[in-house]
């Protein structure tokens, strides 16, 4: 029976093919999606169209992902009203407006962006989800996946940082998105009509119109070559200067150029500056000494064939290892003049206003003792009652007012302790750890070049202060031990990389322990 009827060519009923214009706005709760929705409805109604908007407030309003939906259509002959749907149908949406880039990605996954009909208007800025922020390392979602997908699914795409544009014009993102919608040509209304809607809204009209115009022009004319775009494509490491005015610096630069392979120059130069800034020129010389020795190891392991990647990687992580985070470094950073300027810029300090900052510090006896010369520190540690007595006086939260003398002077004094730093217990501990780490990596390098590099990069796990720092160390130890245990395997470097990745992604060490168990299972068979 079916076969007979399939071939029947029936005309569609009446105006069935005429459908309303559908617009979905995907946003995060509290981001102004409601304002934009209201504007679009007002715009349509001002032209005698029937428009209907729906939303799902509820808990999503509290910063979660949410969606607003608008349909609009002319009344039929004789004023017949269309029946409008209350939610978008995948494959049947004309315009999708996304107020954040990953939300644009989510809208694509919902199937509401399709190549036959959807114009996608999306702001390219990111507002990070909690899962991206929580990982102890870099877990920021890859925006290029969204860009790639937009290229595949959108009939027309309008993508730029609408948030930044709105902020530049003293407004909020909804104004910029409204401007892009106007310029997209997807709705049959004149630009003037959009202004009328904004003007009726009442609040911040001028700023809204400025942002609207900027977005409209940007959408119509495409991107202007922006300096920030150029910076993004520039090589990350700058070239070395020919010479430096400061003789002490220049001597170091000359050494660097003479003793290190060219491939490591740029990164070593940055490392050198960091190390010298941390301590002094002599410490910079020490940095170069170590790198020079590592270059020899590298060469012995056929480093030239590998582009001296080992030396370059060492230059990066050695600088971080040498410029460890002690109280002296923190005190010096907090009291720098550049730091005050950065804070002033961040808060938009204007003439006639007074700036202060309050630091939230919680030094412990451990940090205080480790700053002392090693002998004195060890003596203190052996006198338990004295140590505990001091601990009770030191271990507490302190609010330090940096730009008042009572706060600045102590910080400045702690910064001056740099002169005794290289005798301190902390320095001794750091040097011992550093030497062991480099020895391990050098040893691995001899039989597996990539494993040597991977071991250098394990240093990335050591960060944070107090307990976090301790946990970082224990992760480092676990990863290093495991990597050493499989050093003989051909795929040791890949496993080392996997160890590092799982250690970085998961704060609880569960992933890491899982990876270690996998490794142990195959090494025991």
Contact mark string toward other proteins, 368..397, x via CB under 8 A: -----------------------------x
Contact mark string toward other proteins, 168..207, x via CB under 8 A: ----------------------------------------
For residue 148, state whether it binds other proteins (rule: CB under 8 A).
yes
Of 284, 292, 283, nearest to 260 by C-alpha is 292
Q: At what angle do helices 466-485 and 425-447 cross, to 10 degrees?
A: 20
Paired tokens of 397: 């939260």
Contacts of other proteins in 418-447 (CB under 8 A): none
Residue 353 or residue 524: which is nearer to other proteins going by CB? 353
CB 489 → other proteins: shortest distance, Å?
25
**Could you give phi then psi for residue 52, rounded to 5 degrees?**
-140, 130
DSSP code at position 424: B
Q: In what order do the strands lie in the sheet with 65-73?
A: 50-55, 65-73, 21-28, 95-98, 119-123, 156-160
217 CB neighbour count, 10 Å cutoff:
13
Interface with other proteins (CB under 8 A), residue from 339, 381, 434, 498: 339
Contacts of other proteins in 473-512 (CB under 8 A): 504, 507
Which neighbouring-strand residues pair with 66? Answer: 27
Number of residues that bind other proteins (CB under 8 A): 149
CB 122 → other proteins: shortest distance, Å?
13
Residue 132 or residue 293: which is nearer to other proteins going by CB? 132
Interacting span for other proteins (CB under 8 A) from 17-25, 186-194, 285-293, 381-389: 17-25
The three-state secondary structure class of 141 is coil
Contacts of other proteins in 31-60 (CB under 8 A): 41, 45, 51-60
Burial grade of 221 (CB within 10 A; 0-12, 13-18, 19 or more): exposed
Residue 115 or residue 307: which is nearer to other proteins going by CB? 115
For residue 523, state whether it binds other proteins (rule: CB under 8 A).
no
The three-state secondary structure class of 18 is coil
For residue 288, state whether it binds other proteins (rule: CB under 8 A).
no
* Residues 62/16, Cβ–Cβ less than 8 Å: no
Contacts of other proteins in 93-132 (CB under 8 A): 102-103, 105-106, 108-109, 111-115, 127-132
For residue 466, state whether it binds other proteins (rule: CB under 8 A).
yes
CB 285 → other proteins: shortest distance, Å?
11
Give Cα separations from 370 to 181, 326, 397 (angstroms): 61, 9, 19
Helical spans, DSSP H, in 395-465? 405-416, 425-447, 449-457
**Could you give phi then psi for residue 474, rounded to 5 degrees?**
-70, -35
Interface with other proteins (CB under 8 A), residue from 63, 220, 299, 501: 63
* Residues 461/479, Cβ–Cβ less than 8 Å: yes
Contacts of other proteins in 239-278 (CB under 8 A): 241-246, 248-249, 267, 270-271, 273-274, 276-277
């Amino acid at each position: 029976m079916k076969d007979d009827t399939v071939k029947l060519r029936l005309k569609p009923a009446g105006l069935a093919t005429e459908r309303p214009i559908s617009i979905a706005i995907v946003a995060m709760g509290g981001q102004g999606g409601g304002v934009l929705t209201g504007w679009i409805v007002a715009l349509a109604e001002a032209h005698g169209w029937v428009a209907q908007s729906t939303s799902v407030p509820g808990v999503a309003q509290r910063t979660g992902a949410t969606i607003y939906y608008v349909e609009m259509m002319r009344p039929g002959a004789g004023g017949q009203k269309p029946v409008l749907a209350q939610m978008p149908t995948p494959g049947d949406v004309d315009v999708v407006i996304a107020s954040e880039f990953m939300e644009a990605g989510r809208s694509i996954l919902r199937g509401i962006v399709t190549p036959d009909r959807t114009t996608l208007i999306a702001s390219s800025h990111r507002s990070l989800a909690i899962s991206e922020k929580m990982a102890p390392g870099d877990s920021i979602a890859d925006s290029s996946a969204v860009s790639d997908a937009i290229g595949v699914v959108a009939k027309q795409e309008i993508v730029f940082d609408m948030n930044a544009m709105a902020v530049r014009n003293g407004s909020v993102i909804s104004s910029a998105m409204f401007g892009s919608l106007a310029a997209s040509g997807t709705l049959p209304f004149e630009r003037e009509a959009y202004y009328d809607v904004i003007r009726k809204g009442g609040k911040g009209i001028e700023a809204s119109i400025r942002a609207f115009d900027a977005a409209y022009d940007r959408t119509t004319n495409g991107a202007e070559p922006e300096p920030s775009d150029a910076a993004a494509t520039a090589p990350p490491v700058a070239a070395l200067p020919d010479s430096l005015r400061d003789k002490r610096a220049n001597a170091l630069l000359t050494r660097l150029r003479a003793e290190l392979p060219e491939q490591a120059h740029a990164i070593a130069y940055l490392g050198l500056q960091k190390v010298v800034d941390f301590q002094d020129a002599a410490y910079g010389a020490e940095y170069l000494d170590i790198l020079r020795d590592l270059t020899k190891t590298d060469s012995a392991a056929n480093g030239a064939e590998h582009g001296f990647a080992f030396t370059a990687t060492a230059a990066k992580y050695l600088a971080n290892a040498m410029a460890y985070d002690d109280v002296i470094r923190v005190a010096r950073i907090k009291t720098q003049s550049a730091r005050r300027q950065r804070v002033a810029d961040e808060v938009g300090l204007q003439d006639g206003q007074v700036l202060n900052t309050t630091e939230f510090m919680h030094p412990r006896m451990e940090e205080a003792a480790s700053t002392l010369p090693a002998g004195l520190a060890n003596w203190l540690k052996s006198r338990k009652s004295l140590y505990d007595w001091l601990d009770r006086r030191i271990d507490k939260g302190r609010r330090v007012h940096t730009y008042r003398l009572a706060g600045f002077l102590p910080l400045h004094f702690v910064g001056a302790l740099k002169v005794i730093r290289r005798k301190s217990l902390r320095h001794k501990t750091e040097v011992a750890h550093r030497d062991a780490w480099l020895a391990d990596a050098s040893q691995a390098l001899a039989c597996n070049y990539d494993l040597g590099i991977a071991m250098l990069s394990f240093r990335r796990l050591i960060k944070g202060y107090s307990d976090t720092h301790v946990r970082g160390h224990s992760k480092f130890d676990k990863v290093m031990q495991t990597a050493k245990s499989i050093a003989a395997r051909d795929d040791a470097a890949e496993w080392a990389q996997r160890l590092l990745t799982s250690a970085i992604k998961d704060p609880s060490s569960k992933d890491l322990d899982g990876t270690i168990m996998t490794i142990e299972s195959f090494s025991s068979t």
